[in-house]
Amino acid sequence: MTRWASFDVYGTLIDWNAGIGAALEALWGAERAPGLLRRYHQLEPEIQAEEFRSYAEILTLTLERLALEKGLTIPEGESGILARSLPDWPAFPEVPGVLAELRERGWSLALLSNTDRDLIAASQRQLGAPTDLAVVAEDVGSYKPAHGHWERFYELTTADRANHAHIGASLLHDIAPANELGLKSVWIDRGGSDSHAHGAEATPDVQLTDLTGLPDALDQLVPA
């Protein structure tokens, strides 16, 4: 039996608050950055829901709307700063070791991410451990919490849902759709401004503050 663990990437494996926050700080200063980051995370899902655009476009448009709403000016040539900086956004410190341990325990690993193919390739290099599959918004023409990522995952893997658990940091984008699909889920609640997005109604099977306890938690959810 193949056991699959699928992961959200940004906020779960990659520290996007560090990446986005650094860009906001560079543009508008350290004092403003935390409040702007909170509002950024509210705006991005709204823009994703409007019509399908590439994630690079989503990043740029969200930044532009944020600036417009707050009466801020983006320096010339800097509206694409988030997409340019994304390849350097770091993985959380525990991620390489945990992914490696999951592979040692026999788990197959998939990434289900609201991003573009070229951007996920850059982020995969940051993870420090190989994964078996990546499905991105560009592949399916929709953004989570829509079910397109999971539908493509099952097309490609023919995985048994009983042997699959999904792991994510966002109740809205990951845990709620996992609930709707009847999947086991682990919520990584890192306490960031994106974790409780829009007060989504969602109930994970397990809640952790980082990935450190994930291998044991997954082995309990889906025993070998």
What residues contact residue 119 under an 8 Å CB cut-off, 6+ apart?
Answer: 55, 56, 83, 86, 87, 136
Cα gap 211→61, rounded to integer Å: 31
Query: How many residues are listed for the chain in this entry?
Result: 224
81-88, Cβ contacts within 8 angstroms, sequence gap of 24 or more: 81/23, 81/26, 81/27, 82/19, 82/20, 82/23, 83/55, 83/56, 83/59, 83/119, 85/19, 85/22, 85/23, 86/19, 86/59, 86/119, 86/122, 86/123, 87/119, 87/122, 87/123, 87/125, 87/126, 88/19
Q: Tokens standing for 75?
A: 């320096």
Q: How many CB atoms lie within 10 A of CB 71?
A: 6
Active-site entry in 8, 116, 174, 194 = 8
Given a contact cutoff of 8 angstroms between Cβ atoms, the answer to whether 24 and 32 are in contact is: yes
Cα gap 137→150, rounded to integer Å: 11
Instruction: State yes or no: is 8 an active-site residue.
Output: yes
Q: Which residues are catalytic?
A: 8
